[in-house]
């Protein structure tokens, strides 16, 4: 087992689940969290008793090369998740996405190179593919960024792969499809639906209902990072992880309502509709490469797996203490 693992973006949704998994698997974890005056560690403030106190925390800003370098020093492997990810906000603040996602990744790569990190795994997104030109989407699918967010992640991915090719660095890119689960931000569609229903609404406000997604449960995504990190087969390559199940947003609403034992009416909110050419209409992952390279497959797969994941997510959001952390009456971009 390696000496120390650095997780950037450890205070976020996926990052906090990943830190928990690594700690429980016996790894020595250093969590890089976004500095703030409240001294908040994000979701790590609520780490389970068997995890709390068993990881180190470094506060900083992924855009600051000096702070990133200090965080990377002494680590054997780096799992880089820190990013701005909300698509609607990227329409408002594209500069911030370039600074955080492209320059931030550059800072991680420079530090990893300087400190001879054994393996760096950078996080991509299925949004880099844009609307599917064929399904299931393999890693050979054309790249087609349809939002400033997606464009910044394309830049991040290409920077990572360029460093591997230019400097023979052990770098790989993991490309998750639509991760969901407990702790996810309300800017995502599943928490938006669950949060409104849990708050008592029976008219759910949403944007487009026809696009399809491949929703991947967060523990499957976290396990993908751990397995990819421990495989040399991924170096210099991009690998998808997804649930191997495609469903429309409209049908997702129905499954969530069923899981929560209620009926709802969907009201389309014009403010939540994305520009037509920017909306990704279809995403559906091929995960054969992940199975081949590092023996990964989703535990929450197919319709049955999605139903199980939604049920677990809904239970978490329905806890009053958890729901109170969200502004469910507002549109969170």
pLDDT digits (tens, 9 = 90+) for 48-94: 999 999 999 999 999 999 999 999 999 999 999 999 999 999 999 99
- Residue 18: inside a domain: yes
Please compute, for residue 26, the number of CA atoms within 13 A of its CA located in the half-sphere on the CB side.
2
Could you give the CA distance from residue 317 to residue 20 in angstroms, rounded to a whole number? 19
CATH number at residue 264: 3.90.25.10
- Residue 332: inside a domain: no
pTM above 0.85, yes or no: yes
Instruction: Indicate if the pLDDT at residue 144 is higher than 80.
Output: yes
**Residue 246, H or E segment:** none
- Residue 330: inside a domain: no
Between strands 212-213 and 247-248, the pairing is antiparallel
Please check whether residues 60 and 108 belong to one and the same domain: yes
Which residues form the domain of 93? Answer: 5-178+217-244+286-294
Mean pLDDT throughout 236-258? 97
Please check whether residues 110 and 239 belong to one and the same domain: yes
Please check whether residues 198 and 70 belong to one and the same domain: no
Q: What is the DSSP letter of 238?
A: E
CATH number at residue 131: 3.40.50.720
State the greatest distance between any 2 C-alpha atoms of the chain, in Å, as a whole number: 56
Could you give the CA distance from residue 133 to residue 153 in angstroms, rounded to a whole number? 19
The confidence score (pLDDT) of residue 286 equals 98
Confidence of residue 26 (pLDDT cuts 50, 70, 90): very high
Give the model confidence (pLDDT) of 187-242 as tens digits. Answer: 999 999 999 999 999 999 999 999 999 999 999 999 999 999 999 999 999 999 99
Calculate what percentage of the chain has a pLDDT beyond 90.
Answer: 97
Please check whether residues 254 and 239 belong to one and the same domain: no
SS3 31: strand
- Residue 328: inside a domain: no
Please check whether residues 267 and 147 belong to one and the same domain: no
């Amino acid at each position: 087992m390696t000496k120390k693992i650095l997780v950037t973006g450890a205070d976020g949704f996926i990052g906090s689940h990943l830190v928990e998994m690594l700690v429980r698997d016996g790894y020595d974890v250093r969590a890089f969290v976004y500095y703030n005056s409240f001294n908040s560690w994000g979701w790590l403030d609520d780490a389970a008793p068997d995890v709390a106190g068993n990881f180190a925390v470094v506060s900083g800003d992924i855009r600051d090369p000096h702070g990133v370098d200090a965080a990377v020093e002494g680590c054997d492997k780096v799992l880089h998740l820190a990013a701005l990810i909300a698509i609607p906000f990227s329409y408002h603040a594209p500069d911030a996405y370039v600074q955080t996602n492209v320059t931030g990744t550059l800072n991680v790569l420079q530090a990893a190179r300087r400190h001879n990190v054994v393996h760096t795994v950078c996080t991509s997104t299925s949004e880099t593919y844009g609307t599917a030109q064929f399904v299931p989407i393999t890693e050979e699918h054309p790249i087609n960024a349809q939002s400033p967010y997606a464009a910044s992640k394309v830049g991040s991915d290409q920077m990572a792969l360029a460093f591997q090719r230019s400097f023979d660095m052990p770098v790989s890119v993991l490309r998750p499809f639509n991760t969901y689960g407990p702790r996810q931000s309300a800017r995502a569609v599943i928490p938006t639906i669950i949060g409104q229903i849990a708050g008592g609404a029976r008219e759910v406000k949403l944007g487009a209902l026809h696009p399809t997604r491949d929703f991947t449960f967060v523990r499957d995504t976290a396990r993908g990072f751990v397995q990819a990190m421990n495989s040399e087969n991924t170096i210099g390559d991009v690998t998808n992880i997804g649930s191997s199940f495609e469903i429309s947003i409209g049908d997702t609403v129905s499954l969530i309502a069923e899981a929560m034992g209620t009926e709802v009416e969907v009201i389309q909110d014009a403010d939540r509709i994305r520009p037509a050419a920017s909306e990704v209409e279809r995403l559906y992952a091929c995960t054969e490469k992940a199975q081949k390279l590092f023996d990964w497959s989703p535990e929450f797969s197919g319709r049955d797996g999605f139903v199980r994941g939604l049920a677990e997510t809904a239970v978490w959001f329905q806890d009053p203490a958890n729901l109170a952390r969200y502004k469910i009456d507002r549109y969170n971009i």
